[in-house]
């Protein structure tokens, strides 16, 4: 199974938070030492350059590790395809709470017929090993392998979760700090804690084809279901 399938199957996995600022040797030591399965790079809060991101994806490829980028903002859905063209295997959308923005991300994440991502394959994840030099074969491969995750960080996201989980969304993750801000600011909030929010999400998406990663952060070890 590929990682998209393993996530949906309920298998355990480990997302490791990393940075393009470390060397390939340091990355390999951390990934091997902590048994990382997927690398997460935070573009939302860090000023990494595009060449840095491409270089990190190339280094990760030599270790057979997929890279996920946390993009700057849910309204930056139009940039999703561009970030994927750098070599990422997945995208994490922060501060997700608008179903229309989720639809826009899906459209930019997947190739036709699922979405409308434009074809730019020079550094694309899996290109050399998927369908040879046939872009249509690669598009089919990508649509079956790319990992799309949403980060839930507001009360509004929790309340609208069934609208946010659309076909093509693979994984739901949480952000404790921003969720705590949202709970405090929300009048008569129906949830007292992040744990309350997580329980509500798990209950609401039961039976839907999406994985919920219950943790305080979008990285770390996620146990098998």
Question: Quick one: which of 165, 154, 158 has its CA closest to 207?
Answer: 165
The confidence score (pLDDT) of residue 129 equals 58
Helix (H) / strand (E) element for 193: namely none
Per the structure, the count of domains in the chain is 1
Residue 222 domain flag: no
Between 134-143, 147-156, 210-219, the lowest mean confidence (pLDDT) is in 134-143
Q: Which residue has the higher pLDDT, 7 or 129?
A: 7
pLDDT tens per residue, range 201-220: 999 999 999 999 999 999 99
Give Cβ neighbours of residue 10 (< 8 Å, ≥ 6 apart).
211, 224, 225
How large is the average pLDDT for residues 50-67?
97
Q: What is the model's pLDDT at position 134?
A: 87
Question: Is residue 98 predicted with pLDDT exceeding 60?
Answer: yes
Rounded alpha-carbon distances, angstroms, from residue 64 to 39, 164, 175: 11, 31, 27
The reply to whether 49 falls in a domain is: yes
- 79-103 burial, b at 16+ Cβ within 10 Å, e below that, comes to bbbebbbbbbbbbbbbbbbbeebbb
How far lies 116's CA from each of 31, 98, 139, 149, 152, in Å? 33, 20, 11, 18, 25
Tokens of 18: 């990393």
72, 43 in Cβ contact below 8 A?
yes
- Does residue 98 form part of some domain? yes
Structural domain of 204: 3-215
122/145: higher pLDDT: 145
199 pLDDT above the threshold of 90: yes
Question: What is the rounded average pLDDT of the residues 44-60?
Answer: 97
User: Shortest CA distance to 140 belongs to which of 122, 113, 104?
Assistant: 113
SS3 31: helix
Three-class SS of 91-144: EEECCCCCHHHHHHHHHHHCCCCCCCCCCCCCCCCCCCCCCCCCHHHHHHHHHH
CATH classification of the domain holding 107: 3.20.20.60
- The pLDDT value recorded for residue 11 is 98
DSSP-derived secondary structure letter, 19: -
Confidence of residue 128 (pLDDT cuts 50, 70, 90): confident
Q: How confident is the model at residue 130 (pLDDT cuts 50, 70, 90)?
A: low
142 within a domain of the structure (yes/no):
yes
Establish if 52 belongs to a structural domain. yes
Question: Does the predicted TM-score (pTM) go above 0.85?
Answer: yes
């Amino acid at each position: 199974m590929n990682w998209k399938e393993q996530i949906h199957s309920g298998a355990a996995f480990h997302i490791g938070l990393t940075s393009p600022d470390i060397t390939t040797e340091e990355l390999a030591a951390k990934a091997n030492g902590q048994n990382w399965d997927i690398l997460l790079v935070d573009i939302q809060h860090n000023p990494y350059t595009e060449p840095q991101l491409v270089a990190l994806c190339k280094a990760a490829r030599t270790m057979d590790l997929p890279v996920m980028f946390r993009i700057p903002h849910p309204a930056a859905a139009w940039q999703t395809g561009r970030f994927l063209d750098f070599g990422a295997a997945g995208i994490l959308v922060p501060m997700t709470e608008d179903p229309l923005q989720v639809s826009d991300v899906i459209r930019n994440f997947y190739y036709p017929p699922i979405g409308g991502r434009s074809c730019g394959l020079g550094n694309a994840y899996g290109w050399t090993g998927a369908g040879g030099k046939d872009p249509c074969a690669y598009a089919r491969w990508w649509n079956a392998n790319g990992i799309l995750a949403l980060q839930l960080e507001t009360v509004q996201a929790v309340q609208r979760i069934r609208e946010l989980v659309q076909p093509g969304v693979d994984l739901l993750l949480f952000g404790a700090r921003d969720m705590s801000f949202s709970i405090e600011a929300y009048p008569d909030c129906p949830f007292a804690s992040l744990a309350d929010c997580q329980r509500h999400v798990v209950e609401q998406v039961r039976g839907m084809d999406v994985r919920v990663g219950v943790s305080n952060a979008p990285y770390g070890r996620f146990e098998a279901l």
